[in-house]
Amino acid sequence: MSSSQPKQVLVIGSGFAGLAAATTLAQRGYRVTVLEKNSGPGGRARMFQAEGFTYDMGPSWYWMPDVFEQYFSRFGHRVADYYDLVRLDPSYQVVFAGNDCVNIPAQMPALRQLFERIEPGSATRLDEFLRQAAYKYEVGINKFVHMPGRSLLEFADPRLLVDAMRLDVLQSMSKHVRKFFKHEKLIKLMEFPVLFLGATPQNTPALYSLMNYADLALGTWYPMGGMHKIVEGMVKLAREQGVALEYNQEVQEIKVENGHATGVLTAAGFRPADIIVAGADYHHAEQQLLRPEYRHYDEAYWNSRTMAPSSLLFYLGINKRLDRLEHHNLFFDEDFEGHAREIYEAPQWPSKPLFYASAPSKTDPSVAPDGCENLFLLMPVAPGLPDTEETRERYYHLLMDRLEKHCGQSIRDAVVFKRSYAHQDFIADYHSYKGNAYGLANTLRQTAILKPALKSNKVKNLYFTGQLTVPGPGVPPSLISGQVVAKEVEKEYSVR
């Protein structure tokens, strides 16, 4: 390490990206402090407890376990050092029209048999689909998502150009899936990851079939105690590396002099810094924390972006156990394509929404009192919609009607705790642009170097990380984003 005083890095926000950036930089010898607006860590992956129930507030799917293992291994640890991970079997349940249910098995032989029953001959096509998806996953996750997206020269290596040609970035996910499968159920099954996490299948590059590989081949997992256990592990690791975490410290302004950030202003006063990494909402950090002359983008740019969905969420405590539910349940019993249009093409509150129900108490008795069920409902909706209590309540009853029909039992009269969460809450808690839940949609025009830049072109020592920059939305990409930005800081401000 240099004999001079280590550089001070301020990280704004303690979500996955912020924590990953902070810990990686601390390992490399920087003095790092994380300033978090809210009362605890995790960003959208916060948790809360009520009436004996423990609720994950945001992410509930644990995919790409290798990304988490690779992260902890940077510091000489394993995932198992911080939380107990179990693989779910079935991975999840899909509810189609007519209360027709399909459980997705964790093991490949059973999965192939399921596909063959639904569409004869599809098992062999599944093998080829996943073979191609495995290549995309290997190249996409291990090469391309670790690129900072700052220049086309990053792709100048001929080997990378060959890889890029094989990644199907110019074909849509919709067309790609239909080359392999004809049955409506299988098409919905293969398209759902991109619908819930960023864009319509018609506007998403077929590159993202790598998500199907993550889903069907690598499996769906769960950290016992809830997804917040990942955050707890990352916070423990951060502190082991010397990171200071300060809560209830909302940044009010990034101070800039002569194109160089000098620090940030909070309610407690000025905090000096040599380097700033903004892990908060990118739009907020640029449009609200910087003076206009130091903004990389303008409001027109942000208005032209295609945002991933927002969500209407319900956290419910049920004083009895529920039948016919698995840990993860996807309700595709209504108009799949119609709901997608109402998110992306003609933004409005959906007429016949899809929704997702998570019952982690099916796997983990610690998240609910004995004999009770912990229930989390999520309905994807367009960002930027008017959000009122009346609207929330109307959709609560619409979703509960369908849930009760599926379970074959009354549920509303057994609800002992209820909390809703939607656009206004995302804005209040995270300064989320238009109340979005997932960041930018993964469209072709918003991929790699076409995403908002991770380094400011107006402020020399200001960087951005998280779901609105590279590599994109989701927990594993956010975890990677923090490591990518740390590497970029290291290139310019190496202390070792």
pLDDT interval class at 162 (50, 70, 90): low
Instruction: Tell me which of 164, 190, 216 is where a domain ends.
Output: 216
Q: Is the pLDDT of residue 314 over 80?
A: yes
Instruction: Tell me which of 216, 250, 269 is where a domain ends.
Output: 216
Do 298 and 446 reside in the same domain of the chain?
yes
Q: CA 386 → CA 104, 236, 347, distances in Å?
A: 36, 39, 11
For residue 171, give the CATH number of its domain: 1.10.405
Asked if residues 34 and 9 have their Cβ atoms less than 8 Å apart, the reply is no
**Is 3 contained in some domain?**
no
Q: How many separate domains does the chain show? A: 3
In 3D, which of 446, 197, 470 has the Cα closest to residue 310?
A: 197
Per-residue model confidence (pLDDT) at position 110: 98
Residue 310 and residue 297: Cα distance in Å, rounded?
22
pLDDT interval class at 2 (50, 70, 90): very low
User: How far from chain centre, in Å, is Cα 402?
Assistant: 26
Do 16 and 74 reside in the same domain of the chain?
yes
**Is 208 contained in some domain?**
yes
Do 344 and 287 reside in the same domain of the chain?
no
Residue 336 and residue 190: Cα distance in Å, rounded?
12
Instruction: Tell me which of 405, 430, 455 is where a domain ends.
Output: 430
**Is 138 contained in some domain?**
yes
**Is 105 contained in some domain?**
no
Do 424 and 450 reside in the same domain of the chain?
no
Per-residue pLDDT, averaged over 452-462, amounts to 97
3-state SS class at 135: helix
The predicted-structure confidence for 118-147, as pLDDT tens digits, reads as follows 999 999 999 999 999 999 999 888 877 887
Residue 443 and residue 449: Cα distance in Å, rounded?
12
Do 323 and 423 reside in the same domain of the chain?
yes
Do 209 and 125 reside in the same domain of the chain?
yes
**Is 244 contained in some domain?**
yes
> Which residues constitute the domain of residue 458?
8-84+225-304+442-493
Per-residue pLDDT, averaged over 402-415, amounts to 98
Do 246 and 330 reside in the same domain of the chain?
no
Do 194 and 117 reside in the same domain of the chain?
yes
Do 181 and 291 reside in the same domain of the chain?
no
**Is 258 contained in some domain?**
yes
In 3D, which of 442, 404, 396 has the Cα closest to residue 422?
A: 396
Q: Concatenated DSSP letters for 314-355?
A: EEEEESS--SS--SEEEE--S-HHHHHHHHHTS-S--SS--E
Do 117 and 264 reside in the same domain of the chain?
no
Do 311 and 425 reside in the same domain of the chain?
yes
Close Cβ partners of 157 (under 8 Å, ≥ 6 residues apart) = none
Do 300 and 311 reside in the same domain of the chain?
no
Per-residue pLDDT, averaged over 151-179, amounts to 70
pTM to 2 decimals? 0.95
The predicted-structure confidence for 216-257, as pLDDT tens digits, reads as follows 999 999 999 999 999 999 999 999 999 999 999 999 999 999
Per-residue pLDDT, averaged over 432-441, amounts to 94
Asked if residues 264 and 251 have their Cβ atoms less than 8 Å apart, the reply is yes
Per-residue pLDDT, averaged over 481-485, amounts to 97
Residue 68 has phi, psi (to 5 degrees) of -70, -40
- Residue identified by tokens 């942000």 is 302
**Is 435 contained in some domain?**
no
Burial 70-106 (b: 16+ CB within 10 A, else e): bbbeeeebebeebbebeebebbbbbbbeeeeebebbb
For residue 78, give the CATH number of its domain: 3.50.50.60
**Is 191 contained in some domain?**
yes
